[in-house]
Amino acid sequence: MPFQPLIPRVRGHRQRGGIVLKLRSVIQLLALAAILAGFCLSGCSVAGEDAWRYEPGIPGKVTGFTAKQGDQLVSLSWDTLDNAYTATSYNVYYVAATNTDAITKTNSTKINVTRSQTTISGLTNGVTYYFMVTAQNRYGESEASIQVAETPKPKSPADLTGTWYFHTLVSGPSAKWERGTIVIDDYGAVTFTEFLDSDHYNPADDSSTAVTPPADVNITMQSDKSLALSGSGAWVDFHGIMGSRKNMLLGNWTYSVDGSKAITIFQKKRDTDDYDVWDVSGTGNQNPHYPELAGNGPTRYAYHALNSGASVEWEYSNARVGQQAQFWTPDASLTGAGNLFPDGIGSIKDIIYWDYSTPTYKMTPMWDLMWKVTCFGVQPDGLVKEYDSYAEPSSRKDAKQNVIFTGRMTDDKTVIVGVSTKKEVKTGTITPNQFYLRVLQFNFKPTDQALPTYDLNDLAGTYLFHKIGAVKDSTGASTATWAYGKMQVTSAGVTTFPTYVDSKGATSSADTFTLAYYPDPGSDAHTWTTFANFVSPDTGAADAYSRYYDANGQPYFSVYTWWNLTSSLTPMSTSYYNEHATLSYNQDLVVMTRTDASGHSFIIGLK
């Protein structure tokens, strides 16, 4: 019998054949139930789950699997396409090629990770390793990816070859910033393809005039793997290091004209220009990349910054990048191929900053909620600009007047490094002679389905560090100091400096402090990658709890949703963290602000 819609009886209609009609209704109800059951059997849910929920099943095969060698490590990354995005974690398998020519699940070591990038460390240089990855969720494990092979190697001059972006902060009488691009050839000779500085930059309209870069510069690697620089004119006493992943360099140097001190961060250029605004955006409640999946909400990151010039203070803040974008037509200079908005329509992602603190401005929730709101734009080559987002979308097309920060995203798309001239976000007022260097570290990637969690074991290890700090005297003149060496962090958070050299001639440091990790009680339950010293710099007392919690371990009021603005705010601590550090997504970069004998300081460490 063909299926017919069930029609309710209407009072007054004839009831002939009532028994037959009732039987027919029963049959139709049973048919409908069978159809619904078929739907459920064909892929709705497991027992006890919502019958209408879409279940994707076992993840698909992971694609885009690549490996890059480092010093005693190999960095792995893969795409989250072709159904692999339904994974809640990934199994990474690896084996040395000394006794096999192929990897299997039975002859290899397996580690489970929640991110779509990971680094396998503790490997032997010169030995080839095979790697493969599978995606996993509660339904099972996917087919294995392709096998890739890579051989870790010690750092060498060959690793310097290529294109590097650089950002410099100079502190002292000649306070300024510098940024640009260099190419290092096989012999260490440096060619500047772009060189900009704050002396020739107009923050009012984001314009720069030509600057003559240093000539005949060479960067060489020494026998101890440190870096030396020659022929740099005013750059003297340069000391540099390369991280074990070989994609970042750090350097300190002295400005020979008046003794100002500087720190420079170099980032290796990515092989392909495939950056876009989705690399930083949140996903909301529904993943815009894959609509059948729940989103992770805003993408979280933390930043640390150090000022020079009119102010030498540090600052730090946590932040969230939302899913929603403002669309607007930018001015013509930003449109066209290779520019920020190649199609003529701009997409920017709104940012809200939380827990903003400096040594003199203690964190206040209402300030964070009301005043620190900006937005990102991302160019295909990884150039990132932060814009004042107070203007309505219709007036944002005057984009150059709204730029407040310019930086570069790292090749792994998890860190942004940049410099800028200080501009008040709310009013656009430019602060004369005030410059800053800022490092932003993302907590997770927007496409990650399972979010990483962190503890002190992730932070623990030995870092090669570079530091710059400055203090002002009673006349307002600033004196800067640089330092470098090794920073050791134990699994208990005890931080020391077993080797130390600074520009004042010191060759050791007895400095020590203890870092701890406590996640903040954000409304979306996502954690930051933040570690801090919970000894109050105001009173010297050690708190047994993060400032996000009261003495009973209960969270203070969470200031993470706009609709709470009308609620009664519970004040958080009026202090700040004197040592405040963030660990990078790939757990090889730590950035810290602190106030110590050198003044207000910025420490950057690479594993």
495 token code pair: 């931080």
Tokens of 440: 């932003």
**58 falls within a domain:** no
The answer to whether position 487 is within a domain reads: yes
Residue 13 in domain: no
Residues 322 and 452 both lie in one domain: yes
Task: Supply the CATH number for residue 211's domain.
Answer: 2.40.128
**% the chain with pLDDT above 90:** 41
- DSSP letters, 95-136, are EETTS-SS--SSSSEEEEESSSEEEEESPPTT--EEEEEEEE
22 assigned to some structural domain:
no
Distance CA 449, CA 294 (A): 9
Most confident range, picked from 124-128, 366-370, 558-562: 124-128
Report the C-alpha gap between 48 and 397 in whole angstroms: 52
443 and 353 fall within a common domain: yes
Question: What is the model's pLDDT at position 371?
Answer: 42
Cα dihedral sign, 437-442-446-448: positive
Number of domains making up the chain: 4
Q: Helix or strand or coil: residue 467?
A: strand
Q: Are 448 and 79 in contact (CB under 8 A)?
A: no
Q: Which residue has the higher pLDDT, 136 or 21?
A: 136
From the list 43, 26, 135, 28, the residue with the least C-alpha distance to 86 is: 135
Does one domain contain both 285 and 331? yes
Domain stop point among 120, 150, 180? 150
- For 502-520, the pLDDT digits (tens) are 999 999 999 999 998 866 5
Q: Taking 70 as the threshold, does the pLDDT of residue 85 lie above it? A: no
Band of residue 393 on the pLDDT scale cut at 50, 70, 90: very low
Do 410 and 558 fall into the same domain?
yes
Claim to verify: residue 496 and residue 601 sit in the same structural domain: yes
Does any domain span residue 195?
A: yes
246-252 average pLDDT score: 96
**3-class secondary-structure state, position 237:** strand
pTM exceeds 0.85, yes or no? no
Which one is predicted more confidently, 558 or 98?
98
146 and 163: one domain? no
Same structural domain, 221 and 114: no
Asked if pLDDT for residue 409 goes beyond 70, the answer is yes
Q: Determine if residue 57 is left, alpha or beta; phi over 0 gives left, psi from -120 to 50 gives alpha, anything else beta.
A: left
Q: Which of 251, 268, 285 is the last residue of a domain?
A: 268
**163 strand-pairing partners:** 183
Quote the pLDDT of residue 369. Answer: 42
60 located within any domain: no
Residue found by looking up tokens 């970042």 in the block: 248
Confidence (pLDDT) at 123? 96
Question: Which tens digit of pLDDT belongs to each residue from 443-457?
Answer: 877 777 667 778 899
Is the domain of 321 the same as that of 383? Answer: yes
Q: Are residues 460 and 550 in the same domain?
A: yes
The per-residue pLDDT for 332 is: 54
The mean per-residue pLDDT over the stretch 214-242 comes to 88
Secondary structure (3-state) at 87: coil
- Which among 268, 293, 322 is the end of a domain? 268
d(CA 527, CA 519) in angstroms, rounded, equals 5
| Position 57 in a domain | no
pLDDT band at 349; cut points 50, 70, 90: low
What mean pLDDT, rounded, does the chain reach? 77
Verify that 140 and 169 share a domain, yes or no: no
Q: How far apart are CA 151 and CA 126, in angstroms?
A: 6
Does 216 lie in the same domain as 100?
no
Do both 113 and 216 map to the same domain?
A: no
Provide the 10 A C-beta neighbour count for residue 426. Answer: 11
Q: What is the pLDDT of residues 169-197, one digit of tens each?
A: 999 999 999 999 999 999 999 999 999 99
Say if residues 264 and 195 touch (Cβ distance below 8 Å). no
Helix (H, G, I), strand (E, B) or coil at 211: coil
Instruction: Print the domain residue range for 291.
Output: 277-606
